[in-house]
Structure 1
Amino acid sequence: MMKHILIVDDEESIRQSLEGILKDEGFKTTFAANGEQCLQIINVEDPDLILLDIWMPGIDGLETLKRIKQTRPHQLVVMMSGHGTIETAIKATRLGAFDFIEKPLSLEKVLLSIENALKIGQLVAENNALKEKLARDYQMIGESQAIKKLKEQIKVAAPSSGWVLITGENGTGKELVARAIHQQSGRSDKPFVEVNCAAIPEELIESELFGHEKGSFTGATAARRGKFDQANGGTLFLDEIGDMSLKTQAKILRILQEHKFERVGGNRTIEVDVRVIAATNKVLTEEIKNGNFREDLYFRLNVLPFVVPSLRHRKEDIPLLCNHFLHFFCSKESRENKTISAEAQQCMQAYDWPGNVRELKNLIERLVIMTPGTEIKPSDLPQDISNIATTGHLSVTLVEDLPDSYKEAKEIFEEQFLIEKLKKNSWNISRTAEEIGLERSNLHRKIKYYQINPD
C-alpha cells in the first residue's frame, strides 16, 4: 500500500520540491501551509508520516507537534528547520519528534529519515498487534461472581509492588491471573518472564534462574543471563513453586530479601528490581508441615494471596468458555463454525471438570477437529460427560431395603458424598474440606467415623 506523507511548510517552493521527490519514490502526498491546516487535515486523514517545518506563521511547528501528540501520540513526525539549533532539536525530540532535518534539505537525508521512521512505525504497529493478540489469548473469560471477585482483586492489587502467591488446582488459569496482574501494573511495558519450576531438572534450575558464567560447569561454553536477570524491571512468574527444592528455595528467599544474586560459577553481585509472582497447585501449609517447603519463603511470597476458583465452582461460565474456545479453534483449524446443542451444554455443565478450564479447552479442540457436523451433540461427548445427564453428580447406590430411619439414610448419603468429593480432589483433605465448606478437623472425624480409605 502506498504510504501517505503530509508536508507542512509555509514555503510553496519547498512543498512542490518535496512533492516531486516523494512522488518519484512512490509516496502519496498531502500539503498544509501552516499548523492550523495541518491539525484540520489530520482530523479527517490518517497520514503515515508528517514532515513539519518549525518556523511558520500562526502556531509554529513545535506547538503544532505538541498538539498532534496530544490527540495522536503514535504519529510519526520529522521536523524541518532552516534556523535549527541544538536546543530546538532537543525540544522537538522531547515533544515526540522522530527526527530533525536542517534546511537546505538534502534529498538523501530526507529519504533516509522517512525510511527509518516508517520502519520504526511498522515495528511499533506489529508490536501493538502482538500485544493485542496476547491480551486476547490470555484474557480471563467469565461473568460468575467468583471471576468478578477475582478480577476486582487483580485490579486493586496489580498497581502495587507486593509479591503475589496464586493457588488453585491444575488447569484453573493461574498463569492468566499472573499475566493480568503484570498487564495492569506499572511494569506492563517491561518483561514478563515465566519459569515452570516443575519442568526444569534440579541440577539445572539454579543456572536457569540465576544464569551462569562461561566454564562454570560442563557444557557452559558461554556466559548466560538467568531468568531473574531477564526479568529486571518487570515480573518473574514462578509457576509450580511447590515443586522447587529446599536448596533452591533458600536462594530464592535470599534474592527476595536482598534483591541481588550471583551467577553460577561467578563472584560478581548483580542487583535486580523484579516483582515475583508465584503459583502452585499444592497446599503449601501442608507442604511446610511435611518439611517440603520453607515457612519463611511462604510468608515472604504470601503478601497478596490469590485463590483461583475451580471450574466446578463457576459452572455458569461454561457456556461462555465453550463459545470462546469454539470460535478460537474453528478459526485456528479453518473449520466451519460449530455450535453446542442445549442437551450437550447441559451435560457439560453437570460435569465436574477435574482438569478444570484446561480440560474443557482440550475437549473443545478435539470436538472441533473430530465432530463431522456443525452441531456438537451429547453423543459426540466422552462417555463420562454424556452420561452425567442421567446419572447426576453423585453415583448414589440404590438399596433394595430402604433404611428404617432418616439418620441412617442421611449417613449413607453422607458417606458416599464424602468419598466422591475426596476422589475428585485426589484425596486431598484440606482442598476437599474447603470445597464442601467443612472444617478440616471435622472432615477428619467423619473420615474416621465412616472408615473411609483411598481406593
Structure 2
Amino acid sequence: MNRTILIIDDEEPIRTSLRGILEDEEYPVLEAASGEEALGILEQQEVAAILLDIWMTGIDGIETLRRIKAREKGRAGEGETPVIMMSGHGTIETAVSATKEGAYDFLEKPLSLDRVLLLLDRAIRAHDLARENRALKAQMETVPPMIGDSPAMRALEEKLLRVAPTEGWVLITGDNGTGKEVAARRLHALSNRAAGPFIAVNSAAIPEESIEVELFGQESSAPNGQKIIQAGRFEQSNRGTLFLDSVGDMSLKTQAKILRALQERRFERVGGRRPIQVDVRVIAASNKDLQDEIDQGRFRLDLYYRLNVIPIAVPPLKERLEDIKPLVEFFIKTHQATLPQHRTFSPAAFNCLKNYHWPGNVRELKNLVERMLIMAPGTVIDPEDLPEFIHLKPGATPTSTPWDTLLENENLRDARIAFERIFLKAQLARHNGNISRTAEVIGMERSALHRKLKTLGLD
C-alpha cells in the first residue's frame, strides 16, 4: 500500500519538522519548496496524501491545489489524492475556499503534530476505501464467468466456490487457452478480498533483467535529490490477490527471489533498505507439468510446495465438448453490438465444431467465432463457411487457403488485385451485399466501388 506523503511548503524548517515526525511513523516522505516543484514531482510519483501550504512564493497553495485537481480529472485511475491545506494566517473564508477547490481538510499553524497524523490517517483510509469500492464495482462488471454446464465444468465451479472464501494459496494447471486466468479472477471475485486489487503477472513475458523491479519495485533519486518510489506488483496487490501466471517459465534465479518474498511476506524494493510488509493471497498458474520440471531440475521443489497448497485443474475443451454451444453463444453475445444483424451457427456447424480436437482450447474457439462473425457471408453460419482445418482429422494436412494462393503471386500488381478481390468480397458479404454501406465502411465513393467491383469481376 502506498503511504508516501508529499510536503509542499516554502519554509524549510516546517518541511524538516514534518519529515521527522512522519518518518518516525514510517511514512515515506517527499518534499517540494514550491507549487511548481510539487507538480513536477507528481508527474513522476504517485503519493498517498499531500500537505500543502497556502501562502507560498510563486503559485500559491490554492492555485497549486487547482492544478493538482485538474491533473487528476484528466487521468483514469485511483481517484483524487487527499490534499490537506496548511496556513499560519487561516480564516474561515480561506478554509471554505480551499474546501470548494477539493481540499480534504484544513490545518492551522503552528501545527499540532498529533492532529497532522490523525488527519493523514483518516485521509489515506478514506482514499483507500473509495479506491477499493471503485475496484470492486469495476471487477463485478468485467469478471467473465466460467461458461459451461458439462460435468467437468460443474466440478470445477464447485471447487472454486469451496476454495474462494478461504485464504489458501492455489496452483491452477491446464493447457494453453483453457481459461486459467478466468478461473483465477473468479476465485478473487468470490473471495473475501474481492474489494482489493487483482494483480496479474505473466512470468514468461518479463525479461530476466527487469523481473526484480517489476515484482518488488524500486527506489531511486531524481536529479534534485528527491526520492522516487516505484511500487512493484507485490506491493500493488497488498490486501488483494497476486496472480503469478506461467510460473513454470521462470528462471531458477527468479524462483529463488520469489520464494523468499512468499515465505516472509515481506521484501525490499530494489535500491531500498526498508522492508515492505504485504498481505497478499497468491494464485499461481502453469501450463507445464511442474513435477516433470522438478525432475529435470528446472523448477524448485520448495517453491512448488509453497504454491501448491490447493491444486485446481482446468479441463481442456476436448473433454467438455458439450460446452461448445454455450461458449459460442457467449462469444457471439459479446460481439453483438458491433454486428449489423444477429448471427448464429447452424446445428450442422455445431456438429463440425464438436468433431474438432481444439488444440488451442477455448481461446482458439473464441478467435474462430470472431473470425466467422466477420467473414461468413450469411446470418446463419453453416459447415461450408467454417475453415477447412475444422473438417480435418488430427494430423491431416489442409489444402491451400485463398491467402496461401495470394502469396503465390510473384508480381506485386497481381497480388494487389487478388487481395482486393478477396477483401471486397468479404466486405460485401459482411454487409449483406449493401454497396452503399460497404463503400462507407471501407472509405470509398459508391461510384468508385461500383467501378472497382466491375473491374474485378465481382459486379
For this structure pair, what is the TM-score category when the shorter chain's length is used for normalisation? 0.5 to 0.7
1:242 is aligned to: 248
Matched position secondary structure for 1:287: helix
Paired with 1:124 and 1:298, the residues of 2 have a C-alpha distance of: 31
TM-score, with structure 1 as normaliser: 0.56
1:330 is aligned to: 336
Q: Does 1:194 align with 2:200?
A: yes
TM-score, with structure 2 as normaliser: 0.55
Contact 1:235 1:277 in 2 (8 A): yes
Q: Residues 124 and 185 from structure 1, CA distance in 2 versus in 1: closer, same or farther, beyond 3 angstroms?
A: closer
Aligned with 1:206 (options 203, 207, 212): 212
| Deviant stretches of 4+, over 3 Å | 122-132
Q: Residues 334 and 195 from structure 1, CA distance in 2 versus in 1: closer, same or farther, beyond 3 angstroms?
A: same
Alignment of 1:88-127 (within 5 A): none
Matched position secondary structure for 2:244: strand
Q: Residues 295 and 128 from structure 1, CA distance in 2 versus in 1: closer, same or farther, beyond 3 angstroms?
A: closer
Residue 200 (structure 1) shift: 0.8
Q: Does 1:158 align with 2:129?
A: no
User: Which consecutive residues of structure 1, in runs of 5 or more, have no partner in the other structure?
Assistant: 1-107, 396-455
Q: Does 1:143 align with 2:143?
A: no
Show CA shifts across 1:323-348 (max 9, x none): 110111222x2331101011111010
Paired with 1:198 and 1:256, the residues of 2 have a C-alpha distance of: 19
Q: Does 1:293 align with 2:316?
A: no
Alignment of 1:229-308 (within 5 A): 229-308=235-314
Alignment of 1:28-177 (within 5 A): 130-135=138-143, 138-177=144-183
Paired with 1:340 and 1:189, the residues of 2 have a C-alpha distance of: 39
1:376 is aligned to: 381
Show CA shifts across 1:275-300 (max 9, x none): 11000100000111111100000011
Structure with the greater alpha carbon radius of gyration: 1
Q: Residues 362 and 228 from structure 1, CA distance in 2 versus in 1: closer, same or farther, beyond 3 angstroms?
A: same
Residue 266 (structure 1) shift: 1.5
Q: Residues 197 and 186 from structure 1, CA distance in 2 versus in 1: closer, same or farther, beyond 3 angstroms?
A: same
Aligned with 2:354 (options 327, 337, 349): 349
Residue 132 (structure 1) shift: 3.7
Percent of matched pairs sharing the same residue: 52
Paired with 1:126 and 1:346, the residues of 2 have a C-alpha distance of: 43
Residue 123 (structure 1) shift: 10
Contact 1:327 1:337 in 2 (8 A): no
Residue 252 (structure 1) shift: 1.1
Q: Residues 146 and 253 from structure 1, CA distance in 2 versus in 1: closer, same or farther, beyond 3 angstroms?
A: same
Task: Give the partner amino acid of 1:278.
Answer: A
Task: Give the partner amino acid of 2:165.
Answer: P
Show CA shifts across 1:180-229 (max 9, x none): 1111111010010000011111111110000011159xxx9932000000
User: Which consecutive residues of structure 2, in runs of 5 or more, have no partner in the other structure?
Assistant: 1-95, 105-126, 397-459
Aligned length: 270
Matched position secondary structure for 1:214: strand
Paired with 2:219 and 2:140, the residues of 1 have a C-alpha distance of: 37
Q: Does 1:225 align with 2:240?
A: no
